Chains A and B, each alone.
Chain A
């Protein structure tokens, strides 16, 4: 029934609609991107094949530094998400009164429109009157307004902090679920043998969380690399390009300046890096599924 001829046709029929949507809305645009990246497509109706010109232009420009910046930004953002997420999960797992409420209070940044949360951060970072600058001034730590988003260095970190804020709830809840899936007997046996809490974390919780942590950090890497809303709303890539990541640069080139061809070449490079990450992700996942040690 399940794999005879009509069964196979039936199954193909069930998959076909979803497959067609993906082919039309994701696969075709991907091919179109690659196609466009070799042309000088812009606002006008017709365009010509220009070979590798767009790619040459990219690498003679400042795109190399954009790539480096994207990697640094992504690295710190993912690392902080994992670190804070682990701490949050361990804390929320502790058997103290109120933890059900604390878990719910962790969720808001995750379940609301990302952009809305970023509007709030926009105010927090406001140099004249925002909370961070205000509190620091009141405490006498800084003199005068601290315009976090108008200085390159601070804008870079401010966008990372907001990205971490958006990502942390999901990572925390995911890690919490991973901790709760660890059999309780293990802890009890260790406890009977006299292992204290710190030791139980090092010897049980931590090693058993490694697979989930790896899976999550790979996924997080892919999401973070694609992060657009946060930087676009807070700085639009500024000041003077200091928060311009590959995605922001692509958006600027293609949608802002209507240089579709040059934008597509940038997009193709992003896709190239994303495929590398995904390849690594699939390897990790399939190894974990086979129960191999990494």
Chain B
């Protein structure tokens, strides 16, 4: 029964200790979700009563029904979040795939400086550059449009994507490019028909990493550059709950769960790529 290598065998008390440690760790990570879910099941008047009870005495899914009338734009927010993250991801990939290929393969003047420049962008968050960005968006008339969230979203995700993909492309043997060249393929054809297909696993990793970045960080640009409800992504749309007289916590929690569910399921399915992306980003190749 116990076919584990000896080195991996634990004494019973060690197993107990490991599980206890994991339990504490996961409790820290998951407690807001557990509490949030239980809150979404509690009727509001129960929520605002003392003494506190962790488990709902009366559980109902009312909040999940009522939230659609309290926040009529909720479907729109959910759509906007996914839409913005998708457009940003596509935009980043279109810009980054050729650039990463160039950095991985070609020697050209200013190469080192440019690579350094891309990396340096990583240290600035959008929050630091908010004022000039606001002026820029205003000058181009982009305030309160999808573009106001897409353009900065793309710009700040380019550097990591280039870095990851370049690392991946460095591992593709140069002989492939040269063979295609000898066979008479143009440079562009070589990139499109030889390199990109081979780099597809790397491109998927970069795609999913970028999507998560674009999805998780939807707040400050949307909060500052957009004031129209119809363009708001989920986090900013739901932030509106806090502006009311009394925060309807159970519906807010319900809306949070329903709002992130589609993307959560998708990302969990792709989690292998996610971990691969993070590992490839490790500075040592």
Contact = CB atoms under 8 A, between A and B. Distances in A.
Interface of A: 1-3, 6-8, 10-12, 14-15, 17-19, 21-22, 24-30, 32-33, 36, 84, 87-88, 91-92, 94-96, 102, 104-117, 119-124, 126, 128-129, 131, 133-135, 137-138, 165, 168-170, 173-174, 177-178, 181, 187-188, 191, 197, 211-212, 215, 222-223, 226, 228-229, 233, 247, 250-251, 254-255, 260, 263-264, 267, 270-271, 274-275, 277-278, 281-282, 285, 288-289
B125 A228 contact: yes
B198 interface: no
A211 B135 contact: no
Contacts, number: 316
B200 interface: no
Contacts of B174: 2
A16 to B, nearest CB: 8
B122 A222 contact: yes
Given A18-B158, A22-B121, A29-B133, A112 B216 contact: yes
Given A32-B135, A215-B283, A263-B131, A21 B123 contact: no
11 contacts: A14-B99, A22-B158, A26-B121, A115-B235, A119-B241, A168-B28, A173-B274, A174-B282, A177-B279, A260-B135, A285-B283
A223 to B, nearest CB: 8
Given A29-B132, A105-B26, A21 B154 contact: yes
A120 B35 contact: yes
A32 B106 contact: no
Interface string B116-133: 011111111101111111
Given A113-B81, A137-B52, A120 B278 contact: no
B130 A25 contact: no
B194 interface: no
Contacts of B99: 14-15, 17-19
B102 A14 contact: yes
Contact of B48 (A29, A128, A133): A128
Contacts of B236: 115
